[in-house]
Amino acid sequence: MKRLGIVLTLALMVIAVPVAWAFTCPVVIKQAEDLIKKAEAGKVTAETKPLIDEAKKQLAEAKAHHDNAKNKRDHGDAVRKAKVAAAYAEEAIVLQVP
């Protein structure tokens, strides 16, 4: 009986983990969107504008990967692109601080 419980738990994990990964895309994309908005709300300079533009580009690619995802790899690409977008936006925010 204990062995059956372990097998069922492992089977559930195999099924649930990819579904969980699929649902992380919108969360990470939303975080990137919020950081980009914060960067745009600050003092945009010639130094930070290219960073914000790159963040927007990466975010658009993340959304495209998520919307057209056919497998886990596509969702992984979406998360990676969204994290890169967030990093560019964070860099712009840091450079805006006097």
Predicted pLDDT at 23: 64
Give the pLDDT score at 15.
57
Q: Are 43 and 96 in contact, with CB atoms under 8 Å apart?
A: yes
Q: What is the pLDDT of residue 13?
A: 58
- The structural domains of the chain, with segments of one domain joined by +, span 22-96
Residues of the chain below pLDDT 50? 7-8, 17, 21
What are the tens digits of pLDDT across the range 12-35?
555 554 555 456 899 999 999 999
Answer yes or no: are the C-beta atoms of 51 and 39 closer than 8 Å. Answer: yes
pLDDT of amino acid 98: 78
Q: Can you tell me the distance from the alpha carbon of 88 to that of 48, in angstroms, rounded to the nearest whole number?
A: 9
Taking each helix axis from N to C terminus, what angle separates 49-67 and 72-96, rounded to the nearest 10 degrees? 160
- What is the model's pLDDT at position 55? 97
What is the model's pLDDT at position 97? 85
